[in-house]
Amino acid sequence: MAIEIERKFLVKGDRWRSLATGILYRQGYIATQKGTTVRIRLVGEQGYITIKGKSVGISRAEYEYPIPAEDAQEMLDNLCEHPLIEKTRYKIKLAGLIWEIDEFAGENQGLIIAEVEITDENQNVELPEWIEREVSDDPRYFNVNLAKHPFQQWSQEERESNE
């Protein structure tokens, strides 16, 4: 079984921008129930289908497979719930880890999240200076939930909670 162990953080400032170039991601969700999700993603010109299990702490089962870009585009247009998640992803290698910084567009414009996959939930992670705070345990920042309740629709109170 493939297990994903991931920590999420809000990003501050722009110092990270000079460290990588980004690629456009478009993704949507076909099914979400009882903590299981089926995601369709188009990364540049490559399509993917991903099945993720229910999160337990910061871990969950994850299975991802490439699919033709044309199929991914049709599923995004016709099968996925809208709005879609649109973002530019930047990958930065630091201290032996790969940080993925997602700068959201569309309905989630204004949100920038950094994610880092680790091999053990207790693994020590050296935080870069551009990390604001951790949101790994805050389900509002899960992409599946950002598709259902986009950042642009959050009240000022929602945006300020947990600061």
Angle at 54 between CA 50 and CA 86, to 5 degrees: 45
Q: Which residue has the tokens 């299975």?
A: 63
Cβ atoms of 159 and 111 within 8 Å: the answer is no
Return phi, psi of residue 7, to 5°: -115, 145
CA atoms in the 13 A half-sphere facing the CB of 86? 11
Return phi, psi of residue 90, to 5°: -115, 135
- Rounded to 10 degrees, the C-alpha dihedral 106/92/128/15 comes to -60
- Reply yes or no on whether 63 is catalytic: no
Active-site pick, 29, 63, 65, 141: 29
SS3 label, residue 29: strand
Active site amino acids: 29
